[in-house]
Amino acid sequence: MSIRVLIVDDSPTMRAMIASVLKSEQDIEVVGSACDPLEAREAIKALNPDVVTLDVEMPNMNGIEFLERLMRLRPMPVIMISTLTQEGADATLQALELGAVDCIGKPRDGDIRAAFRPLPDMIRAAAHSRVRSRNSAAPTPAPTSNFRPNRNLVAIGSSTGGVEALQTVLQTYPANCPPTVITQHMPPVFTRNFAMRLDKTCAPTVCEAEDGMAIQPGHVYLAPGGDAHLKVEGSGSNLRCKLFASGAVNGHRPSVDVLFDSVAAAVGGRAVGVILTGMGRDGAAGLKRMRDAGARTIGQDEASCVVYGMPRAAHELGAVEKQLPLTRISAAVLELCTDAMKGAA
């Protein structure tokens, strides 16, 4: 049965381009399009699509305001289409916090069809995602107190649904958290804005990783989107971020597998690996190498994932030591990284 998609964008050219990309997929059917949220509201009622692609900037009502109403009244899978600008990134991150499943950048020039190449797989993942109503906001948890760190490093990988998942994990991190490196699949520009938003809402210092940056306790380092992979290099307490340009791995740059592989090699048993919600298999093999090197590993459980793809692949590979609901992952990580643990370094 085909996945029914509604395209919402104020540009006729962009609507046609997105439709052209999707119509080449046998399992995806474009059932309609709308030029603004008012038209989209009527189209959703009439066509009952499985997935909506939604432009951020539109007349009559912007995409964020429309999404907020949609998630409150009729939650459904939505993929945001955004310009690769700081303003577009800010709006898209707000949309992901409101419940949009994923986002893709709208290029200003160049090969637009190539830029939208990941969209069909995003549509497929969105169609099978768990979308939650945003009728009531969950209270922000307080950071964990009385944390006494050992020398462990934490490495986290995430993709679809990762914005909400990472916020949930990091909001209970204490200011003196274990040094943490993260690869989240996200377009360029968006990762810097995401790191800035996390830095404002979380106790530790959160930043976009830079090449050669020292990895320190109390800091969280987010891989930049789009142009390079993030690795951990060094040994002992002298660990650094390494950014290097290379081809995509598992269809992604940055790749979770690249990060996890480097942690397995540099840190071995002094690491904790976490794989969160996301489509595909990126990170599964790397997490297995981390576990084989002596690291402790955690996977998000199916019930709490937006898309149970990456955690499923890791679990089936034997990479996951323990599966946990999202709300319990932070506490489990901190327990593994405290000097109260038996045998802590």
Residues annotated as catalytic (active site), given as ranges: 159, 185, 282
CB-CB contact of 56 with 81 (8 Å): yes
Q: What is the dihedral of CA 170, 171, 174, 178, to 10 degrees?
A: 0
CA distances from 54 to 15, 91, 103, 181, 260 (A): 10, 12, 9, 31, 33
- The dihedral formed by the CA atoms of 316, 321, 326 and 332, expressed in degrees to the nearest 10: -170
- Are 76 and 60 within 8 A, CB to CB? no
Pairing of strands 219-222, 205-208: parallel
CB 140 within 8 A of CB 171: yes
- The CA R_g of the chain, rounded to the nearest whole Å, is 20
| Alpha-carbon distances, residue 281 vs 37, 58, 62, 158, 267 (angstroms) | 35, 35, 34, 11, 23
Pick from 280, 288, 277: nearest CA to 250: 280
Reading the block at residue 207, the tokens are: 């930043």
- What is each CA distance from 30 to 6, 41, 50, 77, in whole angstroms? 6, 16, 10, 15
At 292, which amino acid appears? Answer: D
CB crowding 130-167: b at 16 or more within 10 Å, else e: bbeebeeeeeeeebbeebebbebbbbbbbbbbbbbbbb
* d(C-alpha 140, C-alpha 320), whole Å: 28
Q: Tokens 């969280």 belong to which residue?
A: 220
